[in-house]
Structure 1
Amino acid sequence: MTTPRETATSATSKTPPLPGSSSSGAARSASQHSGSSHGKLPLASDFFSVPQLNSKESKYLLGLAKHACKEVVYYSREHDGPMTWLHLASEDGVKVFQGVDHATTSKPEAKALTYLRGACQIHATLDEVAEFFKLDTPEKLAGFSQSVGKDLLDQQTLLTLASPTAENPKHYVGVKWTAVESPSKLARNRDFCYVECHDEFLDTNSKRRGWVRSIHSIRLPFCPPLNKSHGLVRGSFYRSGFIFTESADGNSVDAVHTLHLDIKGNAPNWLKLLVMKRRIKNIAEVNRYFQRQRLIRGKLLGDLELPAKDGVARCQLCETRFGLFHRKRRCRKCGKVVCSPCGHDFLLDYAGAGPKKVRICLECSEAVGFGANGAMAKDVKKATKLSSSDVRPLYD
């Protein structure tokens, strides 16, 4: 079995040549475009000269996407998968793990890869989660950028290989290019070219339905590195993505975000971990996104409707006594007077006043977390069956 990094090279070399888009031609095209854009982002919509794929090329990329989906689900397993996951910390409601792949640790190429896994619970349905990641409107892209994709600088869809249908509404395959911002001035911004796949699955161990969004880096001649033209270092994703499985109570989903990443360049190890931990913890923002949407649809108290804080000596949730270090805050949903730890700030547009930061107590934020449709549907007829026994490694 080869390492993921070796496979990225070999898999790319196996990619059929794309008509009218040799590596040198694509590089010249990118260079010409960069001269007109002066190396700035976002790129022009016609920056990449994407050719028409033939059936063999499309079939290869669709097969790669399908295998990558299975790999992401299989390698994300905490207990019965091929990875050993070591708990690092629990921050912002997300359990963060670092992974060890014993099959590749002895190989020098594996030292460039860092494996992280984040897990939390999200109060939403699989349908809502799949719709959230379907970035087919400016509004959805804005919601994504304000939550999971806070470091997103630019993104383009280069190819759409499979679109949702009435029979399979949660399935999608495409090739995308993305540029992300570095969290430190000590390192340059990164960009990635990858195949992205969305699909449903059935975990045959737990009999629970799930949905996965996988991303796997590829090299394509019409998407050359933009190091010289835009100063972007081309990184690589392997076996990365989001996995959502319906929970036992049916009112939420167990969410996992895995990153197997080589950010390339000469970045120190501490910066690699900083980049990945920041991205991993963003999975909690998916839950906050759904909370915000439900709060906006519900009724919030206006200034004249809020009860007075005078006479309230203790937090009405945890009963902590108010004082110099424990200030009084009022929940815009129920009006309770609470301390700072017993609430969250949400940026909401309400009462026609535009976006405004409002305080919502923990009790109300949890109450609006659950999907309006109650328990999730149990229809699994169209789900792809995946388990540790029938998932085959991509890197044979």
Structure 2
Amino acid sequence: MSIQLPLPPNFFKCPPLTPEEKERFTAMGTRSANELVRKAKLRDGPYQWTLLSDDNGLKVYKGVSTEAQRSLHCGTYEVAGSLEDVINLYKTETTDQLKRHIRRLGRAWVDATNLYTVKESTHDRPHDSIQLQWFAVKTAFENLWNHRDGVLVQCSMECTVDGKRGWVRSWQSVDLACIPDMYSAAGLVRMLFFGTGHLFVESDRPGHVMLTCLGDMDPKIKGPEFVHDQGVKAWCRNLPDVERCLREDNLSRTPFLREDQLIPPDTRRDCFLCQKKFGPMRRRSGCYKCGQVFCSKCNRTWNVTVDGFATTRKVCNACSAAVPRYSSQGSMSSNEFSGYKGSFRDDRTTASGASDDLADFDLEYAGR
């Protein structure tokens, strides 16, 4: 009988690593991370990159490895936030962190687990670590091809790119005797990574981070080249999800209004942001940050944390796009946000009192 995913806890029985094995995997992971930084250079790098697509700031490029005669893909996307905040989204040093990361950012991931900790992070290097992991993912055309799985050494470490602070996380496929081929047991086809991963670098724009994902892999799919291209494009679409997660984390750091503090929706006839009238196809609701009334397009539901509990709250596009100000060390310098600073007025008379505040809202972020 085929094994169902996700696998039960402690499914793989892995013996302890020897010191020699730890040393070998440390060298392999470090080499893979350094090579990823080198490969991810779109200009004056080792590969010639061709733009495949540009969708609302998400750019996907294709390159060719002359050494192995295989295609590489690279996606880039810029987000507002600090490097520390982005790194925290990708911290997967434990299986619990890995599962949480998959829930938030693993669109294609089906299952994953940490097999070994090869190198733990330290007080001096809190963002550097190396693990051995197993994973299972969906293909872009899952009705045509089986899910894929892989065994890899994951190396995460801080780095410097063109004088800017950065962080790289690379994946390199490895063979482990304790992780057999899973095709007969679960229908999984073993794919290979040759230095795939992510590179995050502080942008030239203050308070922004440039995200790069690089795919150098063999998915073991026999088909036209465009099939591989589409699969990597789907993987790169995770980058804009980082922006959503950063917004949700930012929203969770500041208080939400109570239900009785919101302007009663039935007292407003049009959306406070887009000014379109409410109707059967344009429902109204209140923003739990500023208290104003918006249409469903301008007031989205976000996954946030309130008083330590995971829940959802509706927050308007303006409040959700407010960008926290960061110090040079990357931490929030205050609880204030640059962007929309409107708030609910107790008099509940008109929304005109907050209209001037909307002038501070950077529409660039609402449009993404």
Question: Aligning the two structures, in what range does the TM-score lie when normalised by the shorter sequence?
Answer: 0.7 to 0.9
Offset of 1:142 from its aligned partner?
Answer: 4.4
Matched, 1:186 2:150: no
| 3-state SS of 2:14 partner | coil
Which residue of 27, 50, 54 corresponds with 2:14? 50
Q: 1:175 to 1:89 in 2, by over 3 A?
A: same
In the other structure, the counterpart of 1:122 is 79
* Pair 1:72 & 2:36 matched: yes
Tell me how far 1:214 sits from its aligned partner: 0.8
One of 60, 73, 86 as aligned partner of 1:97: 60
When residues 324 and 78 of structure 1 are mapped into structure 2, their CA distance, relative to the original with a 3 A threshold, is farther
Q: Report the Cα offset of residue 236 of structure 1.
A: 1.4
Residues 337 and 117 (structure 1), Cα distance of their counterparts in 2 relative to 1, 3 Å cut:
farther
**Mapping 1:268-347, distance limit 5 Å:** 269-309=225-265, 312=268, 315-319=271-275, 328-347=284-303
Structure 2: unaligned runs, 5 residues or longer = 332-368
Q: Say whether 1:158 aligns with 2:118.
A: no
Question: Which amino acid in 2 is paired with 1:231?
Answer: G
Confirm whether residue 60 of structure 1 aligns to residue 16 of structure 2.
Answer: no
Q: Distance in 1 between matches of 2:269 and 2:9?
A: 58
Partner of 1:244: 200
Q: 2: distance between equivalents of 1:322 and 1:64?
A: 59
| Higher relative strand content | 2
Post-superposition Cα deviations, 1:111-164, rounded to whole Å, max 9, x if no partner, equal: xx4x33222223332223333322346763443122221332222222221111
**1:88 to 1:322, Cα distance in 2 relative to 1, 3 A:** farther
Higher mean C-alpha displacement, 133-142 vs 251-260: 133-142
Aligned pairs (5 A) from 1:163-178: 163-178=120-135
**Partners of 2:308 and 2:84 in 1: how far apart?**
29
Does 1:360 pair with 2:323? Answer: no
CA–CA distance in 1 between the matches of 2:114 and 2:130? 11
Letter of the aligned partner of 2:291 in structure 1? G
Instruction: Kindly provide the amino acid, as one letter, of the partner of residue 152 in structure 2.
Output: Y
- Displacement of 1:225: 1.7
Which region of structure 1 is more displaced relative to structure 2, 231-240 or 317-326?
A: 317-326
SS of 2:92's partner is coil
Q: Which amino acid aligns with 2:327?
A: G
Structure 1 residue identity aligned to 2:311:
P
Matched residue type, 1:75: K
Distance 1:218 1:138 in 2: 19
Residues in 1 aligned to 2:299 and 2:49: alpha-carbon distance in whole angstroms: 32
CA contact (8 A) 1:252 1:370 kept: no
Q: Deviations over 1:192-233 (max 9, x none)?
A: 111100001112x2x211111111222333323211121100
User: In 1, are the aligned partners of 2:250 and 2:324 still within 8 Å (CA)?
Assistant: no
Distance of 1:142 and 1:294 partners within structure 2: 21
Measure, in 1, the Cα distance between the counterparts of 2:111 and 2:242: 20
Q: 2:155 and 2:291 mapped to 1: Cα distance?
A: 44
Cα separation, 1, equivalents of 2:114 and 2:129 = 12
How far residue 324 of structure 1 moved from its aligned partner, in angstroms, is: 6.8
Amino acid at match of 2:157: D
* Contact 1:83–1:99 under 8 Å retained in 2: no
- Larger CA deviation: 141-150 vs 162-171: 141-150
1:84 alignment partner, one of 48, 56, 62: 48
The CA deviation string for residues 347-378 of structure 1, in whole angstroms up to 9 with x for no partner, is 3354899633x4322221121x436x533359
- Report how many residues are paired: 330
- 1:79 shift after superposition: 1.8
Aligned AA (1:263): P
CA gap of 1:257–1:94, structure 2 versus 1, over 3 A, is: farther
4+ aligned runs moved over 6 Å, structure 1: 351-354
Q: Which moved more, 1:148-157 or 1:186-195?
A: 148-157
How does 1:352-391 map onto structure 2 within 5 Å? 355-356=311-312, 358-367=313-322, 369-370=323-324, 374-377=327-330
Is the 2:53–2:61 contact (alpha carbons within 8 Å) kept by the matching residues of 1?
no
Q: Secondary structure at the match of 1:257?
A: strand
1:148/1:285 contact within 8 Å kept: yes
How far residue 51 of structure 1 moved from its aligned partner, in angstroms, is: 3.8
Residue 329 of structure 1: how far off its partner (Å): 4.6
| Secondary structure class of the residue paired with 1:147 | helix
> What is the CA distance between 1:284 and its match in structure 2?
1.8
User: Would the alpha carbon gap of residues 328 and 374 (structure 1) be closer, same or farther in structure 2, given more than 3 Å must change?
Assistant: farther
Mapped pair 1:202 → 2:160: yes
How many Å separate the matches in 2 of 1:149 and 1:364?
Answer: 26
The CA distance in 2 between the partners of 1:169 and 1:279, in whole Å, is 27
Q: Give how far 1:243 is off.
A: 0.9
Change (3 A) 1:351 1:58: closer
Of structures 1 and 2, the one scoring higher in RCO (CA 8 A, sep 6+) is: 1
The answer to whether the Cα contact below 8 Å between 2:98 and 2:112 also exists between their aligned partners in 1 is no
Amino acid at match of 1:129: V
